[in-house]
Structure 1
């Protein structure tokens, strides 16, 4: 039987298509076959019947070759995913585990960063605020809340709130670097983390302004909807207002939850970071929402428990004393700082996890951007 006949028969073996494809590729690499060349497998030059067999076998094996190439690409993708440990989906348990592992391993640098950007400013403000309240309560005559001091207290509180917002962005940026270094097996350096945070200050500030404006818009829409539907009862109108404005706003915030890590890590601008965050969180927003909701509920319960104990102590002591001011200021700043640290590290770990799920990027590749 001529060799060309064997070639045609092997081409029809669909159960094992890569055999003839590999033979065809080897044959092409050795210079055989193809138009204008010597027909393969003993077909004589100028033999019309042999040339027809060559064209038929080449058309059949072209499909086999395409299938073979697709299979190779698929195998390379899966082998790379297995070799790099790339996860197939977002893992809440892994994020929880890595978050508290980072906090435990890098507690010293983390405490320094959180103390600089969160605990110390909050402690100073709490001392001042509680001291002013104690002084106003001791005032005689008119009610303390009708005095001009109340307006000053409100103004200072508003300014302090904006300052704390800016400092929280700096803390989160510094903790992004700390988290990546820790997950990469390196000892985070406080100075390096702070330098990275200051370098990316203005993009983070722009992201903060957009978030602030979005929250104001959501609050306005929620109030308007609740007012328009007040005929059905304030409670019902409020629920509809929440459904119309608050829930979409919350999901939008979840979609841009890793915008600051993107701005720090990938050095994008304000809108580029927001767009990139939405692309990374797509398909994983509900798990992220559940994870952050658990952390927020835990923080809220701790804050509520502390507030009840503090109010009970004030009622027992008959007012704000020096000890009460100290306990309230220190306790409040510690609670807010702990929550800030946990949520910032969790968001950084979420970013790393999303990069691994979406793109297969490992921590080494993420750390190289900072070098």
Structure 2
């Protein structure tokens, strides 16, 4: 299927089709990516919220609650968190959270692309994709963390550039079924020429999440002033973690779909054909 961008017509004109909006001038559109992200989440809220709460919210809740409840036993001991009875369970839950977060990334990426292609995402099928890919996804996350981390140590800017360059590595790997290193290369290729627009997209999203976090912060402060608020604080932390993960993964998938359309004229239906 040829994208509407590649067909004739006036420059800058937008045309709707199969959940997508095409620009014939071949330019990455920030507003399109953002609206597509929240439209996708809104249309599949129960699915997205369910996956995010189970795979991101629950591990965050377990870590926060266990750490806070154990430290609260002896508030005079500043090294309480290093006791094996406290530290070991936290490490175990942290490792579980690494696995679950990679499963979530793959599952929500599939769900987002399926929705944009006009299909209805299925909880079990998306979760199955996530479970099948969790080992290579862990490797990708590790390589991303190392590369971007080293870049940030080199006066921050190189880290930002690498983060933007590799920002769609996960969607590429999940959707195109390529090798791990090939996924990094594809991400670099796709993001070329659009990286500052991607940066602005993420900046807008981070600002929006920050605004949403303000009332959560107020609730947290009120809960702390009440004294015994360990459970409530852990629940709030879990909700924030699930919401942030849901939005961040979804917008990465939408950025990937937009870049494939802009640079290669590939519509969502073609992406599904590749996956199949």
Q: TM-score range with shorter-chain normalisation?
A: 0.7 to 0.9
Distance (Å, rounded) in 1 between the aligned partners of 2:161 and 2:90: 29
Partner of 2:98: 165
Partner of 1:109: 47
Partner of 2:175: 265
Gapped regions of structure 1 (runs ≥ 5): 1-76, 138-142, 223-243
Label 1:99 to 1:156 Cα distance change in 2 as closer, same or farther (>3 A).
same
Label 1:166 to 1:300 Cα distance change in 2 as closer, same or farther (>3 A).
farther
Partner of 1:279: 189
1:287-319 Cα distance to aligned partner (Å, 9 max, x none): 1111112222333454465345423432x33x3
Partner of 1:150: 82
Q: Within 5 Å, give how 1:38-117 maps onto structure 2.
A: 78-79=7-8, 86-87=22-23, 88-117=26-55
Work out whether 1:176 is the aligned partner of 2:109. yes
Partner of 1:198: 131
Partner of 1:210: 143
Distance (Å, rounded) in 2 between the aligned partners of 1:154 and 1:300: 30
Label 1:146 to 1:172 Cα distance change in 2 as closer, same or farther (>3 A).
closer
Root mean square deviation of aligned Cα: 2.5
1:12-51 Cα distance to aligned partner (Å, 9 max, x none): xxxxxxxxxxxxxxxxxxxxxxxxxxxxxxxxxxxxxxxx
Distance (Å, rounded) in 1 between the aligned partners of 2:205 and 2:29: 16
Instruction: Work out whether residues 148 and 163 of structure 2, in 8 Å CA contact, stay in contact via their aligned partners in 1.
Output: no
Partner of 2:3: none
Aligned residues: 261
1:183-231 Cα distance to aligned partner (Å, 9 max, x none): 1222110111111122222321221111222244345xx3xxxxxxxxx
Shift of 1:279: 0.2
Label 1:160 to 1:217 Cα distance change in 2 as closer, same or farther (>3 A).
farther
Label 1:291 to 1:303 Cα distance change in 2 as closer, same or farther (>3 A).
same
Which protein has the larger Cα radius of gyration, Structure 1 or Structure 2?
1
Label 1:247 to 1:155 Cα distance change in 2 as closer, same or farther (>3 A).
farther
Distance (Å, rounded) in 1 between the aligned partners of 2:69 and 2:267: 50
Shift of 1:262: 0.5
Partner of 1:362: 267
SS of the residue 1:90 aligns to: coil
Query: What is the TM-score when the length of structure 2 is the normalising length?
Result: 0.85
SS of the residue 1:187 aligns to: coil
Partner of 2:68: 130
Q: Within 5 Å, give how 1:222-261 maps onto structure 2.
A: 222=153, 244-261=154-171
Query: What is the TM-score when the length of structure 1 is the normalising length?
Result: 0.64
